[in-house]
Amino acid sequence: MVDFEDIEKELEDLSLIRQMETNDQMKATKATAQDKLLGVAYLMCSDKHRFRKMVEDINNAYLVGQDGYPKLVNDDYYCKCNWSKDKKT
């Protein structure tokens, strides 16, 4: 479910390399990468009609360097519960 690249990215964010990390650090890194993956999966599986604009906005922001993707499923749930969209679009 979590691939090698996800783990390497988390290690890079923590300024660690795979060969030097402890088992506890590796478990924490895998858990963080998995949480991020699940958060994005939850976002992508959301109701296309209700949250289309929110997903588009997050995707477009990412293209210009702003990572607005949810880091946890709870973050995505909070965003969806409090999302307000313009009725004109």
Q: What is the pLDDT of residues 29-85, one digit of tens each?
A: 788 888 888 888 888 888 888 888 888 998 899 889 888 888 888 888 888 888 876
Look at residues 14, 19, 56 and name the one whose alpha carbon lies nearest to residue 31: 14
Better pLDDT: 78 or 5: 78
| Count of residues making up the chain | 89
Query: CB neighbours of 58 closer than 8 A, spacing ≥ 6?
Result: 43, 68, 69
Better pLDDT: 57 or 9: 57
pLDDT of residue 23: 78
pLDDT of residue 1: 45
pLDDT value at 20 more than 80? no
pLDDT of residue 19: 61
